[in-house]
Amino acid sequence: MAAYSLAESDLAGSSGRRPITAPKTLTGGRRQVELVLMTDGEEYRERVTVPDEVPEWFTSSIDALNRVLALPAPLDSDDALPIDPRVAMAAMHLLADVMRRDTPAPAVTPTPLGHVTLHWSMRGMDMEVEIGPDGPTCLFYEDARSGEEWEGSIDSDRIRLTRQLLELTRRR
């Protein structure tokens, strides 16, 4: 298995976290990617499956998650929690499940609860998915062209999310 890093090593900063790296292996037209995150002496490993040609959103999302993981604790809030490494892994699992190779990468932002929000705001559509350590928790969708708007639990609306991401990918 050839190893390669999808993030720059200087992202570790003073947080004691090393960036997510991803050794890759080829398996029948799809690529099994093992994500590795080192933080505070603990190692987190997860496998995700992506198309044989690693999509642009994959590397962009890992870079964005690494930037969020490397952020120092907020100075203006005693209540804000650091991002749990399981959140980054859960985000990559969700993206691998719902994204197509040509889907635009989401913006990634931290929340005060130690979660991250994946956010797509383009082509008249706005989608947000909040992800905690146990996986996606809630999502919000709004389409300025059609006026459609909804929010709900990711458990009940994952198919809807996949459909809306397909629409976002196709829309110009």
The answer, yes or no, to whether residue 42 has pLDDT greater than 80, is: no
The answer, yes or no, to whether residue 45 has pLDDT greater than 60, is: yes
Percent of the chain clearing pLDDT 70 (strictly above): 74
Taking the complete model, does pTM exceed 0.85, yes or no? no
CB atoms within 10 A of CB 114: 15
Q: What is the pLDDT of residue 73?
A: 66
Q: In this predicted model, what pLDDT tens digit does every residue of 88-118 receive, in sequence order? A: 888 988 998 888 889 999 999 999 888 999 9
Q: Could you tell me the residue ranges of all domains in the chain?
A: 9-170
pLDDT band at 35 (very low <50, low <70, confident <90, very high): confident
Task: Compute the distance between CA of residue 17 and CA of residue 11 in angstroms, rounded to an integer.
Answer: 8
The answer, yes or no, to whether residue 12 has pLDDT greater than 80, is: no
Among candidates 49, 41, 46, which has minimal Cα distance to 18? 41
The answer, yes or no, to whether residue 81 has pLDDT greater than 80, is: yes
Q: What is the pLDDT of residue 5?
A: 32
Task: Compute the distance between CA of residue 167 and CA of residue 143 in angstroms, rounded to an integer.
Answer: 10
Which has more confidence, 154 or 125? 125
pLDDT, the chain, mean: 78
Q: Walk across the sheet containing 30-39 and list its strands.
A: 24-27, 30-39, 42-51
